[in-house]
Amino acid sequence: MKADVININPEIMGGTPIFRGTRVPIETLFDHLERGITIDAFLDDYPTVSKEQVIQVLELVGQLFTTDKIKQFYEIASCGSPPG
């Protein structure tokens, strides 16, 4: 899996994380999914994004939510500040 699927560049859309090679913010994918819009419908709405890119982003997000990381999220949420 390649982490280079996401581009963050202050010169492109003010540094908003986007799908590399497009001007489509990563957040737009999650906005669609939160509204119950399918990945295929997202791809229809944003044809410059490939299904492979969507899968790679979802895999990256999945890696962020490992058991250890989720524990850290809970600690941050309950304490109001990062652990350590």
- CATH code, domain carrying 55: 1.10.10.10
Assess if residue 59 is contained within a domain.
yes
Assess if residue 73 is contained within a domain.
yes
Q: In terms of residue numbers, what domain contains 71? A: 3-79
Assess if residue 25 is contained within a domain.
yes
Assess if residue 84 is contained within a domain.
no
The answer, yes or no, to whether residue 1 has pLDDT greater than 50, is: no
Task: State the Cα–Cα distance between residues 64 and 2, nearest whole angstrom.
Answer: 14
Query: What pLDDT does residue 16 have?
Result: 95
Query: What pLDDT does residue 72 have?
Result: 72
Of residues 35 and 81, more confidently modeled: 35
**Model's pTM, two decimal places?**
0.75
The number of domains in the chain is 1
55, two tokens:
């899968």
Query: 31-50 pLDDT, tens per residue?
Result: 999 999 999 999 999 999 99
Task: State the Cα–Cα distance between residues 66 and 17, nearest whole angstrom.
Answer: 22
21, two tokens:
């090679």
The answer, yes or no, to whether residue 57 has pLDDT greater than 90, is: yes
Taking CA 81 as the corner, what is the angle to CA 80 and CA 83, rounded to the nearest 5 degrees?
Answer: 125
